[in-house]
Amino acid sequence: MQVFQFSNKMLAGFLAFAGLGLLSGLYAALTRLGFLTEVPLAIPGGLHGPLMINAFLGTLISLERAAALEKRWTLSGPFLMGASVIFMLFVNIQYGSWLFTAGSFFVSLTLLHICFIQPKIYHYIMALGGTSLFTGNLLFTLGAPVFEIVIWWMGFPVLTIFGERLELNRIMRPPKKAQRTFAGLISIWVLGTILMHFTRTHGWHLVMISTLATALWLIKYDIARKTIKSAQWTKYSAWCLLSGYGWLVLTGIFGLIYGLSTAGPIYDALLHMVFVGFVFSMIFAHASVIIPSLSGRIIPWNRYFYLPLFLLHGSLIIRITGDFLGYYSVRATGSWINVLAILMFLGGVLVQILRNTQKEYRPFARDRRG
């Protein structure tokens, strides 16, 4: 297979599709909460989950892996995921769903190819994440209700991030026994996910035991415990990582106590502890590395980024408090601020990139005038 250099402009174009998926998913979330009812553009609230998982996370993660491999066929995943947004919003939801499924197949294939090149535990864990996405999408496209397959969708970002953190923490050199324990905990997650189709309660309990234990493992062995003493992006990333692991601990505890219903406020609270508290903390943590690697644009550090991080966690506390106490207005307020925090982070990234670009351009402008 021919290997060639992907241009930053091309990768930035795909990154824009991930951004469209994020904005569409957030819009659908607000629609689901009863906001934006007077706005002409209608994105059904039911598309919130599929868009966030596939159009945003699926495009972003598969693009990152494709950029690392630099093989043409690996772009099939992010291309199909990006195209599916257009179909979902403007053509036909069912067609968009099939594109999600096809895209996730190529995402899985890409991650499995990496396992073939480098058969490491962390690559196998990431491949399990891709397979989880494909399984969830296939079941969803075939008509399975979201509450039955959401665990497969959850497995995609969670297992992928687990694998990435194990890979990045090689510098900490966790003992072989600890690494085998980590792999065993992932096996429990997968077993629990499959078991949920036969006995929802027991399968969910296994997933929560794995979630809680893996979070504690990461808190103990992750390099963030050392880098939190650093500065700027490195220190910020450490805070994001450790706070994200904290949300996983809470998910495990509350998940074991309350179980996972098929709908309702507890269902909402548990899912968003993972998808907002953990996953978006990881996105905030890695943005300063991922975005420059794909776009070629550096994100200069600014203390401003602590504001959206604080709002993300604070609003999530408000949201789940509303869920557990049964106050819909409190839940809605927290959810709206969740969206605001994410948009503030994205806006901060764009502003910093533009400012840096202008600084790079000015010397050239002066030279031309000279």
Instruction: Check residue 3 and give its pLDDT.
Output: 45
Specify burial of residue 281 (Cβ count, 10 A radius: 0-12, 13-18, 19+).
Answer: buried
What pLDDT score does 83 carry? 84
- Three-state secondary-structure class, residue 3: strand
b or e along 234-264 (b: 16 or more beta carbons within 10 Å of the residue's beta carbon)?
bbbbbbbbbbbbbbbbbbbebbeeeebeeee
Task: Give pTM, 2 decimals.
Answer: 0.89
Q: How far apart are CA 157 and CA 326, in angstroms?
A: 29
User: Residue 224: what pLDDT?
Assistant: 87
Residue 361 half-sphere exposure, CB side, CA atoms within 13 Å? 7
Question: Could you tell me the mean pLDDT of each successive run of 10 residues in the chain, 370 residues long?
Answer: 60 81 88 73 78 89 84 86 82 82 92 91 93 94 89 94 86 80 94 93 95 95 88 94 96 93 89 95 92 85 95 96 91 93 94 81 50
Cβ pair 155, 126 in contact under 8 A = no
According to DSSP, residue 264 is labeled: S
Which amino acid type is present at position 260? L
What pLDDT does residue 5 have?
61
b/e map 189-212, b = 16+ CB within 10 Å = bbebbebbeeebeebbbbbbbbbb
Residue 257 is predicted with a pLDDT of 94
Identify whether the C-beta of residue 342 lies closer than 8 Å to the C-beta of residue 312.
yes
Cβ atoms within 10 Å of 302's Cβ, excluding its own: 16
